[in-house]
Amino acid sequence: MPGVDFAARLLYFSAMTDVVSRCEWGAAPPKLVETFNGPAPFVIIHHSYIPGECHSSSECIKAMQNMQKFHQNDRGWNDIGYSFGVGGDGNIYMGRGFSVIGAHAPRYNDKSVGICLIGDWREKLPPEKMLQAVQKLIQSGVEEGYIAKNYTLLGHRQVRDTECPGQKLFDEIKTWPHFSPHPSGPNDTYRPPS
């Protein structure tokens, strides 16, 4: 289990970056917390698809709770799968947090930060404040040493067969710094179906 330093550092990060704490969104406790040594070399972008987009903080809190219930109860996972959620209210919601092994991208769960933009972004772009919140989260993560300075930004579909994070959002993140069309470099033999 991570110790006091781990928890204190995350609390500090949350305060600095205006992250909505698990307590604030009414998260159930994780069944188990397994950590990995950072900084994480990958940032992986998701959409929730379901639940759909949320506009108010009360809607986004409900969405976080529903995702956690689904992941813990139906999927049988330890916690909500993602490291963070970002809502249409422009807020960042603490999921598993940094340096905790996630359940969002096979083979990358112990070396990435998984950020879920709540909503279905196949045919429309998330609102600007949501996109800005994601970029702020990544930047703060780099500054605090949770994300490697030379991190690689990927969409979920690049590491497994899924339409996630939605075509519109995927087209958007392709324009962001650190996006790579090659998930793990030339030595990675995995090729997701195109």
Alpha-carbon torsion (138, 141, 143, 146), positive or negative: negative
Q: Which is nearer to Zn ion, 111 or 156 (CB)?
A: 156
71 binds Zn ion (CB under 5 A): no
Sheet of strand 112-117, all strands in order from the earlier edge strand to the far edge: 19-20, 92-94, 84-86, 112-117, 40-47, 147-155
Judged by CB under 5 A, the stretch of 4-12, 18-26, 135-143, 164-172 that binds Zn ion is 164-172
Q: Which is nearer to Zn ion, 76 or 186 (CB)?
A: 76
Q: Which is nearer to Zn ion, 39 or 155 (CB)?
A: 155
Rounded Cα distance between 164 and 161, Å, is: 9
Judged by CB under 5 A, the residue of 43, 131, 164, 169 near Zn ion is: 164
Q: Which is nearer to Zn ion, 6 or 49 (CB)?
A: 49
44 binds Zn ion (CB under 5 A): no
* Tokens (6 digits) for 1: 């289990």
Give the shortest CB-88-to-Zn ion separation in angstroms. 17
Count CB neighbours of 132 within 10 A.
13
Rounded Cα distance between 61 and 43, Å, is: 23
157 binds Zn ion (CB under 5 A): no
- DSSP annotation of 22: H
Give the shortest CB-114-to-Zn ion separation in angstroms. 8
Give the shortest CB-70-to-Zn ion separation in angstroms. 13
| Residue ranges binding Zn ion (CB under 5 A) | 46, 156, 164
